[in-house]
Structure 1
């Protein structure tokens, strides 16, 4: 079918709005008419060559829309159903069968290669040029996306699409880091480094879980203010002094949990000095420099029984966790609306520029 998409053709270059052609869904596939799609740092990392996704490509991996057609064998959804689209997983590997699809053994292939198992792809230009598609099993920077039965989740019709879309990746990652990955206990303490949309989702998850001390570390004053509005009990400006000292001025013994959403080695090192004995540190952010390292002072921290764990997609089982987040939003306990700014789909480059300037936290593209 004919569709419209934002195409990434060159690293660090603006997206171009182009006419494309999408194949009809094959076995297990679902064609979705996109209502809204969030813009995530991962999309830009793929465009700019930091991830192994071949250009030109249609990116986008936080879609929300209405099912228009399903392929053979699909029973989970039907045409007319409204769905959120999340990360894909194989459903067959040891992680998937153990209920941990975000650690699917095929994650890299399913997220970044943009092909089916047979090497085919579903998207071309009008002139027949092949475009990398199926990014994270969706490529939702367009009017339509071809997804899979495994990575679509039914969502209600009475919640705005711009609220539902970012639940597919960034917000479920932040909230899931607290509620699933670290499984923070009520009345415990947490420090979150970085008050972007992922970090603030972690703050909101901590409020939901009932933590007693929630500290957000963020250099931008407006984001610190928003963190307090969302339920952080304390905020720290890292430019005002060493973070461990500031954290221990609040809790002299250190915090029980720490989450990094920045991927900056110096920030991660500061968290190592902020946790207490048997503390747990969750790493969400991916370092921009793959050669980055942390000094061997980490050994002193590990001697305190500290656990450091990497976190992918907040250890979410999307069919269960996304509906939970929707219910929390509808109950006023997960105020996604305070993070999101909607832009017309055609203004994708303006939305990215606004995010880069720090004017918006979570830009979401909407189709009128």
Structure 2
């Protein structure tokens, strides 16, 4: 079928205005285990921007978008759990067969890199092409949902519950689960504990909202932008700091050198060293931020060793996809995870503006609405 998709010709690493161009393309029929979705909206995520700016590996020309939400139109013959008319959003892709998938840790699927960044199915097909026949990398996270229609794997889809706006739900597929997951799935703050969140963009603010659902009594937001710190306080942060050279020392003073948890959620700043230093004895730092693929982490070895500090990586929030996504959407439906306070909507034709506004901090969580 013919659809409209936002095609990235090449990664340019700059803020040029015409990096992405919506155009008419052809979309394949769904495979037996796939679902055809009419996309109603899709978030703009740091991973999309990383591909645009040449920081993430993705072949071009291709179609980005991995926070898609929409309505199912057709299903492959082996699809059992999803049917036409269902409201769905797309999470991380996973194979369902490797060791980590069988353990229920689908975020760490052994084929996850190929499924997310190759731009193709595992059999090498792309699913999309230009009208002149030129192949497109049309399987970004197995969905490429900066498009009016797309294909996705049945197993990566989560149903959107009644009572919430479908167009708000795409970001649960990546940025919001990436922030909330480390809190709810991995750190699980105990009553009376303290947690510092370095970077309060959409990922960090999701972490703030999730921390508010726990017994943590000190939720500390750290960022360079006062307006984002204000949003963090509105969403549940009890304290906030503008980041500077003495931030780790200030956190130690505030907590009496007993900071229990830290989350490094910056978009490329890589403040893991500070997030570790700020911890008290037996504290845990969760790394979730969007540093470059080539980034390295340094830390004070005696400090980590002598104080029994722990450092964990948390990919996409961890948890079991898509069950965890459905639980987050239920929290939103109950009014306990107010994602709508982060969102700014854009017309699909304004995709470049949405990316620019996200890059400069003008929009916390841009969501594209499709022209149906």
TM-score range, shorter chain: over 0.9
In the alignment, structure 1 segments of 5+ residues that lack a partner are none
**Partner of residue 140 from structure 1, selected from 145, 148, 158:** 145
Regions of 4+ moved over 3 Å: 263-266
Q: How far is the alpha carbon of 1:316 from its aligned partner?
A: 2.5
Counterpart in 1 of 2:369? Answer: 366
**Partner of residue 81 from structure 1, selected from 80, 86, 98:** 86
Counterpart in 1 of 2:54? Answer: 49
Change over 3 Å in CA distance of 1:135–1:289 after alignment to 2: closer
Q: How far is the alpha carbon of 1:310 from its aligned partner?
A: 0.7
Structure 1 segment 196-275 matched on structure 2, within 5 A: 196-239=201-244, 241-262=245-266, 267-275=271-279
Q: How far is the alpha carbon of 1:289 from its aligned partner?
A: 6.5
Q: How far is the alpha carbon of 1:157 from its aligned partner?
A: 4.1
Q: Which moved more, 1:122-131 or 1:112-121?
A: 112-121
Q: How far is the alpha carbon of 1:128 from its aligned partner?
A: 0.8
CA contact (8 A) 2:260 2:279 kept: yes
Equivalent-residue separation in structure 2 for 1:244 and 1:313 (angstroms): 26
Query: Aligned pair count?
Result: 366
1:36-74 per-position Cα deviation (integer Å, ceiling 9, x unaligned): 100001012123332221101101000000001111200
| Structure 1 position 306 matched with structure 2 position 309 | yes
- Which secondary structure does the structure 2 equivalent of 1:322 belong to? helix
- Which secondary structure does the structure 2 equivalent of 1:198 belong to? helix
Q: How far is the alpha carbon of 1:228 from its aligned partner?
A: 0.5
Equivalent-residue separation in structure 1 for 2:180 and 2:95 (angstroms): 24
Equivalent-residue separation in structure 1 for 2:187 and 2:342 (angstroms): 23
Q: How far is the alpha carbon of 1:156 from its aligned partner?
A: 2.3
- Which secondary structure does the structure 1 equivalent of 2:281 belong to? strand
Q: How far is the alpha carbon of 1:265 from its aligned partner?
A: 6.5
Change over 3 Å in CA distance of 1:289–1:165 after alignment to 2: closer
| Structure 1 position 177 matched with structure 2 position 192 | no
CA contact (8 A) 2:46 2:267 kept: no
Q: How far is the alpha carbon of 1:291 from its aligned partner?
A: 4.6
1:249-284 per-position Cα deviation (integer Å, ceiling 9, x unaligned): 211123100000126566211112211111110001
CA contact (8 A) 1:39 1:60 kept: yes
Structure 1 segment 38-187 matched on structure 2, within 5 A: 38-187=43-192
Equivalent-residue separation in structure 2 for 1:367 and 1:198 (angstroms): 24
Change over 3 Å in CA distance of 1:129–1:266 after alignment to 2: closer
Equivalent-residue separation in structure 2 for 1:225 and 1:265 (angstroms): 20
- Which secondary structure does the structure 2 equivalent of 1:276 belong to? coil
| Structure 1 position 355 matched with structure 2 position 358 | yes
Counterpart in 2 of 1:3? Answer: 3
In the superposition, the TM-score normalised over structure 1's length comes to 0.96
Q: How far is the alpha carbon of 1:115 from its aligned partner?
A: 1.6
Change over 3 Å in CA distance of 1:93–1:232 after alignment to 2: same
Q: Which moved more, 1:222-231 or 1:180-189?
A: 180-189
**Partner of residue 281 from structure 1, selected from 278, 281, 285:** 285
Q: How far is the alpha carbon of 1:137 from its aligned partner?
A: 1.2
In the superposition, the TM-score normalised over structure 2's length comes to 0.95
| Structure 1 position 315 matched with structure 2 position 318 | yes
Equivalent-residue separation in structure 2 for 1:291 and 1:31 (angstroms): 37
Give the superposed CA RMSD: 1.5
